[in-house]
Amino acid sequence: MQQADQDAMEQQQQALEDQRAKAERALAEQRAQDEALQAYLDQMSTLLLAKDGLRESAEGSEERTLARARTITVLGRFDPKGKRAVMQFLDEADLIQGVEGRGPIIRLSGADLSSANLSGANLSDADLRDADLRDAEGLTKEKMLKQQAKSLYGAAMPDGTVLYATSEFDPALSFTHSDGWQTFAGSETPAAALFSDGPEGGELNFTSPLHVFDPTNPSEPKELPAPENTDEWVSWFQRHPNLDTSKPGPASVGGASGKQIDVTASSTPENYPRDLCGGEPCVPIHPISESRILSYEGFKDRFIILYRSGL
């Protein structure tokens, strides 16, 4: 009986020591985070208060590169409380949102914001490309789109889904897709072009072209202003000398209405632009971002043309 009592006392003592050690580790971790946060705030204050400081710096400058690197690093190391403090500072300092016509000074693309409390944060025009927003509080997809974040391309949302979105479209575009698809943007910066490759070779492209290629002289890929509305786009496809088209019909995507038309290359001009077509005979349709939309014989493309605001 005495041995049993002694064993129980030893177990109780060990539990108390384990609890004390755990509390000391938590206190040490919190102290380390507090010190790291203060060091970060001191570094950022130095950048902001320096002559021709961070706010006056140019896109791609050393100051902005350093500020972004420090921000991404601490966000990856901090717990939710520390992340909230960093985001509050960035928000109040107007560093992560667009202000008076300029873009964000610090882009949060790729940032670890998982489990952060983002209630009240102004993320308008923020670049959250590939950011980890899983389990973030005070944040929904609807709120992000309403605030018009500059880009949510590839962002992991609070519910775990990966969202592809950009406010470069009017209205802002967002979508998710099933496994097996690979999505990428048309350039390194947020752009009105998203491309998805399907698991069986299909493609799904979202574009907002400003120009089309002049079909009258394909050897010299001259760009002309794009049609201004849905009916003009349909007419442009129907008049193209190297394209066959189906009868256009009504279509809608995400509540936006428009028309759809199937397009196939009926012939490829002998003087097609080889550099533009990658060496394969093609019919150039329109440029977009750093890429282009092309039509090849033997393939069918379905274009869904949505009405723009005010048209």
pLDDT digits (tens, 9 = 90+) for 198-243: 777 778 888 888 899 998 887 778 889 999 899 999 999 999 999 9
pLDDT at 33 over 80: yes
In the structure, how many helices (H) and strands (E) does the chain have?
Answer: 6, 14
Q: Which pLDDT score is estimated for 188?
A: 44
Contact residues for 188 (Cβ-Cβ < 8 A; gap 6+): none
251-308 pLDDT, tens per residue?
988 778 899 999 999 988 788 888 888 878 899 999 876 678 889 888 899 999 987 6
Beta carbons of 125 and 133 less than 8 angstroms apart:
no
**% pLDDT > 90, the chain:** 29
Backbone angles phi, psi at 150, to 5 degrees: -55, -45
| Residue 203 near residue 197 (C-beta atoms within 8 A) | yes
* 67 contact partners, CB below 8 Å, separation of at least 6: 44, 47, 54, 95, 105, 106
Q: What is the value of pTM for the model shown?
A: 0.57
- Cα angle: 63, vertex 67, 72; to 5 degrees: 150
> DSSP E strands: which ranges in 134-181?
155-156, 162-166, 173-175
Q: Which two tokens stand for residue 114?
A: 């998982």
Q: Show the tokens assigned to 288.
A: 């977009």
pLDDT of amino acid 277 = 85
Question: The dihedral of CA 139, 64, 190, 75: what is its sign?
Answer: negative
Examine the pLDDT at 192 and tell me if it is beyond 70: no
Q: Which of 37-41, 43-47, 158-162, 237-241 has the lowest mean pLDDT?
A: 158-162
Q: With the CA atoms of 61, 65, 67 and 71 taken in that order, what torsion angle do they form, in degrees rounded to the nearest 10?
A: 160
Per-residue pLDDT, 310: 40
Query: Phi/psi at 189 (nearest 5 deg)?
Result: -105, 160
What share of the chain has pLDDT > 70, as a percent? 81
d(CA 106, CA 74): 14
3-state secondary structure (DSSP) of residue 25: helix
Please tell me the least confidently modeled range out of 56-70, 78-92, 97-111, 119-133: 119-133
How many angstroms separate the most distant Cα atoms in the chain? Answer: 102
User: Which residue type occupies 249?
Assistant: G
Question: To the nearest whole number, what is the mean pLDDT of the chain?
Answer: 81
- Which amino acid type is present at position 13? Q
Contact criterion met (CB below 8 Å) for 125 and 149:
yes
Task: Give CA separation, 206 vs 124, 268, 292, 297, 298, in Å.
Answer: 22, 25, 12, 22, 22
